[in-house]
Each structure stands twice: as C-alpha cells, then as structure tokens.
Amino acid sequence: MEFKEMFKTKQDCIDYITSIRWPHGFECPLCGSIRYWKKNKGRFECRDCHTETTVTNGTIFHKSTKPLLI
C-alpha cells in the first residue's frame, strides 16, 4: 500500500505523524514543556516559551533524505 493511500485527509496524516513523534504527548523541542496550544495544520505552540513547532519539522516527513529518527 502506498503511503499516501493510508490517509484519507491531510489531518489523518498529521495525526499519525504526531502520534509517532510524540507518543506520550507534545513536548517542546526548545524548553521541554508539555503544555501547548494546538494550532491548525499540525502546528503546536509551547505555552511556556511560545515557540511554534510544526509536527513534521525535523522528521523524515520534513526532509525525506534523512532516516526516520524518533
């Protein structure tokens, strides 16, 4: 099955990537906070340092030439 066929919508894909990247929930890459605001299109904003993170940032989905590191 092709990867793109696994998901009906882009939101499905974002939810899947989110569950891989943060299996125990969001964690801020900058300060390590687990408190966040969920924004649209897979973006999260840290409540403590207000850094905005894209769920695909730094993953295979962001740069397909790199191996998947979780």
Residue 34 engages Zn ion in binding (rule: CB under 5 A): no
Q: Which is nearer to Zn ion, 6 or 30 (CB)?
A: 30
Are 67 and 45 in contact by the 8 Å Cβ rule? The answer is no
- Our finding on whether 28 is near Zn ion (CB under 5 A) is yes
Name the one range near Zn ion by CB under 5 A: 9-17, 19-27, 46-54, 58-66: 46-54
Q: Count H helices, E strands: the chain?
A: 1, 3
Does residue 49 interact with Zn ion by CB under 5 A?
yes
